[in-house]
Amino acid sequence: MSKRLIRDPVVRFLALGAAIFWITHLLHHSSQNTAQRIVVDAAQVRRLSQLYQAQTGAAPSQVEIDHLVDDYIHDEVLYREALRLGLDQNDDIVRRRLVQKIEFLNSDLAAAAPPSETELRRYYSAHAAEFAAPAAVTFSHIYFAPDLRGEVSARQAALDALRALQTQPNPAQRQVGDPFPLQRTYAELSAGEVAQVFGHTPFVAALFAAPVGQWWGPIRSGYGWHLVFVSHRVEQRIREFENIKAQVAAAAAEELRRRADERGYAEMEARYFVVREYAAQVRR
């Protein structure tokens, strides 16, 4: 009897249907169950306790832990409901927060590995000029003050004085020109240091182009006209790797970090196809 029943196609159909119904019901039920589960495990409690301690300076008591867990559950329920309703979408604050998080994550990853000695040397060879000691100049000058002579006459007086100095190379130089309120001689100034004293003026480039060991000019500074006597000039000097290792390491690490940041962003950007629709609107 039972065997016949089992063989009965109608019964079989019904049984199969019931089984399917039961299984899907089970599946559905269990998935609903997971969605509603909020698990507070030991690790989570530890995290909550640590946060509490960081903010108050004291470890939480058992009563406080219970409160912390209750608060956590309360927030978690609201959080999940908010997600279910899609409240995280189109929210500037959430967006900015996530952007911050991934930026921190990326720069942490980038900062992970300090450059090796080989990498440092390679970086140094490629950037030796940036670590070079700058060119420097030692010079005297004679000042011709537009305040006292006017712009054109000051320049002319400088030209006349230059001619006199060239034909009579050993005069009492101090009788020539006008008093200069700062120094008449400067030692080993870089271009930046010359600009700091005389202004970002044609004076700077001219000083570094002037012939050594003779009076030259006139050239214009932020104060007026000058004749210059360059007694000594050193060109930019490459500094040995060993002497500036720490400096190279700092620059290389910075460079690596920057490159890694850029690479990380480029990889992410490559996953997107950007459509700039506003451009078409603007053109129209």
CA distance 284 to 176: 70
Least CB distance to another protein at residue 181 (A): 5
Q: Which of 104, 116, 130, 163 binds another protein (CB under 8 A)?
A: 104
CA proximity to 143, closest of 166, 172, 174, 120: 174
Residue 211 binds another protein, judged by CB under 8 A: no
CA proximity to 191, closest of 142, 235, 241: 235
CB neighbour list of residue 44: distance below 8 Å, 6 or more residues apart: 72
Counting residues that bind another protein (by CB under 8 A) gives 46
Q: Which of 192, 237, 265, 268 binds another protein (CB under 8 A)?
A: 192
Q: Which of 124, 215, 216, 229 binds another protein (CB under 8 A)?
A: 229
Q: How is the chain split among helix, strand and coil, in percent rounded to 5?
A: 65, 10, 25
Nearer to another protein, 104 or 265 (CB): 104
Per-residue interface string for the shown chain with another protein, residues 82-101, x marking contact by CB under 8 A = ----------xx--xx--xx
CA distance 47 to 65: 11
Q: Which of 189, 219, 228, 230 binds another protein (CB under 8 A)?
A: 189
Least CB distance to another protein at residue 68 (A): 12
The SS3 call for residue 208 is helix
Per-residue interface string for the shown chain with another protein, residues 160-179, x marking contact by CB under 8 A = ----------x---x----x
Return the C-alpha torsion angle 37, 42, 46, 47, nearest 10. -30
Nearer to another protein, 67 or 121 (CB): 67
Q: How far is CA 69 from CA 52, 63, 138, in A?
A: 11, 10, 74
Q: Which of 135, 145, 206, 256 binds another protein (CB under 8 A)?
A: 145
Least CB distance to another protein at residue 85 (A): 19
Q: What is the 3-state secondary structure (H, E, C) of 230-248?
A: EEEEECCECCCHHHHHHHH
CA distance 134 to 158: 30
Amino acid identity of 231? S
Nearer to another protein, 128 or 145 (CB): 145
User: Which residues of this protein are in contact with another protein, per CB under 8 A?
Assistant: 51, 54-57, 92-93, 96-97, 100-101, 104, 138, 140, 145-147, 151, 170, 174, 179-189, 192-193, 195-201, 221-224, 229, 231
